[in-house]
Every structure is written in structure tokens, then in C-alpha cells.
């Protein structure tokens, strides 16, 4: 009886480790890139979980994003802005939330991409995971949901 409990516990622990590893090791995929003329919006699936994971993913993919998607869009003054979104539940229709008992006319929880020519062209604003602003002085200001970082000449510091 003791051995079967240990075996079941060990198998359950192994299943949990494998499941967590699978979730953590999934590659981040670019779903789409949208621009509104002055900002770029990068929609990804399976984003990294940690701040450093997000920042490293962005650093590793800067060249690909520029070559394949033309992002970031550099303004005349040399600045740019990119916002990275988690695809999460996918694009949604622009409609009010179903709050059950209380009616709600608010659609401010959504950000809609006008360049996406389908009815389902919005993401929930809570899915924004990171923004990167490049200043005139080539300083990158990186905001995650947890902290703000500045990158100057490749050196990253938390603010």
C-alpha cells in the first residue's frame, strides 16, 4: 500500500513537472503586426512570462520584426513606439462585456486594430504585455506590467 501511494505521488509530481515545462518552453510566435502610422502593435502567442524573458525575446527578434514586418515605424524625429500584445483568447468583436445582471455599454476594455479588415479585430487591453519607446537620443524605455527599464547603448537598467 505504501509503495502504491509513493508511485502515484511520484507519477503525479512527474506529470506536473512535464506540464509546467511544456508551458514554459513553448516558443513565442508572432501572430500579426499592426501599424497605425506612428505606432506598431505586435501580437504574439505564448509570450515569455518574466520581464527579462520578454525583453530578451524583443531584443532577439528586433531584426526579424524590421525586415519581415517593417516595425518599428521610425518617425521623422527618430522616435518610435511598439506595443506587444498577448494573443491569449484571440481577436474579439467590438462589443460590450456580458456582465450578467448589470447592463454595460462600455467597450473601452478593447483596443481595435483598424488595419485588420474583419469584424473580429479587437484585443482586450489587459493583454498588453510590454511597450517599447525609442527616444530621439536612442534611449529605449521599456515598460512591462511589472517595471520600467531603460536601455542605453545596449545596457539595460531597471528604473
Instruction: Give the pLDDT of residue 126.
Output: 92
Residue 63 phi/psi, 5-degree rounding, is -65, -45
Query: Which residues have a Cβ under 8 Å from the Cβ of 83 and sit 6 or more positions away?
Result: 39, 40, 41, 42, 128, 130, 131, 132
Question: What is the model's pTM?
Answer: 0.80
Higher pLDDT, residue 20 or 132: 132
Neighbours of 33 (CB within 10 A): 19
Instruction: Determine the longest span between alpha carbons in the chain, in angstroms.
Output: 74
User: How high does pLDDT run on average in the chain?
Assistant: 88
**pLDDT tens per residue, range 38-93:** 899 999 999 999 999 999 999 999 999 999 999 999 999 999 999 999 998 899 99
Distance CA(58)–CA(130), nearest Å, equals 10
Q: For 141, phi and psi rounded to 5 degrees? A: -105, 115
Of 69, 67, 47, which Cα lies nearest the Cα of 56? 47
Cell readout for 150 is 531603460
Q: Is the confidence at residue 24, as pLDDT, over 70?
A: no
Contact 155, 140 (CB under 8 A): no
Residue range 29-43: mean pLDDT, rounded: 92
Q: In the beta sheet, which residues pair with residue 29?
A: 45
Amino acid at each position: 500500500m505504501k509503495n502504491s501511494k509513493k508511485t502515484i505521488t511520484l507519477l503525479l509530481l512527474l506529470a506536473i513537472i512535464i506540464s509546467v515545462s511544456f508551458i514554459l518552453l513553448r516558443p513565442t510566435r508572432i501572430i500579426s503586426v499592426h501599424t497605425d502610422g506612428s505606432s506598431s502593435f505586435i501580437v504574439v502567442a505564448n509570450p515569455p512570462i518574466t520581464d527579462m524573458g520578454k525583453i530578451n525575446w524583443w531584443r532577439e527578434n528586433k531584426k526579424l520584426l524590421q525586415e519581415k514586418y517593417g516595425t518599428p515605424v521610425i518617425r521623422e524625429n527618430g522616435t518610435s513606439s511598439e506595443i506587444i500584445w498577448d494573443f491569449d483568447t484571440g481577436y474579439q468583436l467590438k462589443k460590450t462585456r456580458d456582465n450578467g445582471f448589470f447592463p454595460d455599454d462600455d467597450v473601452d476594455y478593447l483596443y481595435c486594430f483598424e488595419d485588420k479588415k474583419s469584424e473580429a479585430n479587437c484585443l482586450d487591453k489587459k493583454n498588453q504585455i510590454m511597450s517599447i519607446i525609442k527616444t530621439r537620443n536612442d534611449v529605449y524605455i521599456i515598460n512591462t506590467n511589472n517595471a520600467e527599464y531603460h536601455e542605453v547603448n545596449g545596457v539595460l537598467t531597471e528604473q
